[in-house]
Structure 1
Amino acid sequence: MNQSDFLKVVLPFKDKVFRLAKRLLVSTEEAEDATQELFFKLWKSKDKIADYNNVEAFAMTMTKNYCFDRLKSKQASNLTLVHSNYEAKETSLDKKLEYEDSVNQVYKLIEQLPDQQKIIIQLRDIEQYDLEEIGKMVDMKPTAVRVALSRARKTIREELIKKHNYGIS
């Protein structure tokens, strides 16, 4: 496999790999390093890529495993998460702040989820993978993925309701 063939295969999912790495590692710099390391590993084994049924799923699994290894290592450093991809048109400043605060709360709540739920919600709700693909990536049955996703969403929803009601039931 030459370089242009390799790029045609791996470039379509480069951003997804980065977003998953950023979700797990929090730091943009760490996520960039993880993405670069993943593509370096894929390049080293470029002759074996054709053997995989779904290169994207394989790359996402490699990313997940690499990020977990980084988090387990003593070199891992967590920086604050900065949300920057929300844009609203022609809304008042107070509404913008309210929306931004809600989005930041959701990100914080996602970060507090157990690792498995965090990965599943990232892959399903942000990366838009279907349940079977996620199941292959995290080595779970699709029904177990659906249950974990439901629990993660329920946890986030309940915590957001508590925050918006100021703790009043």
Structure 2
Amino acid sequence: MKQTTFIRLIDPVKDKMYRLALRLLTSREAAEDAIQEVLLKLWSRNDKLKHYANLEAFAMTVTKNHCLDQLKLKQNNNLKIVHSNYDNNQTNIHVQLEYSDELEQVERILKSLPEQQKLIFQLRDVEQYDYEEISEITQMNETAIRVALSRARKKIREELLKKHRYGIN
């Protein structure tokens, strides 16, 4: 097959191949490189291309397989499968505000807890101490610690649910 015939056959499919590669490989550069390599593969088989009933389907399959191979090989750390070409790594400002508001609400609830519950909650859920260590620090038995922790968590949960249901601050 002549070069002009190859270009005439592949040219209508090239844009579809690029869009597929861009969908699988997040960067434009990686997609462009992939298409060049796929075109080289297809050109190296140009004598067999006329035997394929659907050249477009074959070219798309070769493109997909090449991109998936690139992802498996992890030749480029920036390559990954995504469903969209836009990947926003920054958390939405609205979500950040919600988190901040939620943390402020939990802090307010914690301040309203009895000192013993506040201390146990801090030691267990924030500092990640185990019950035995908390027992040593507070001079309480483990059952009493569990009860106090349960009450603190219950109070926090109830207050947060109340806020979400009724919009109470």
**TM-score by structure 2 length?**
0.46
Is the radius of gyration larger for structure 1 or structure 2?
Answer: 2
**TM-score by structure 1 length?**
0.46
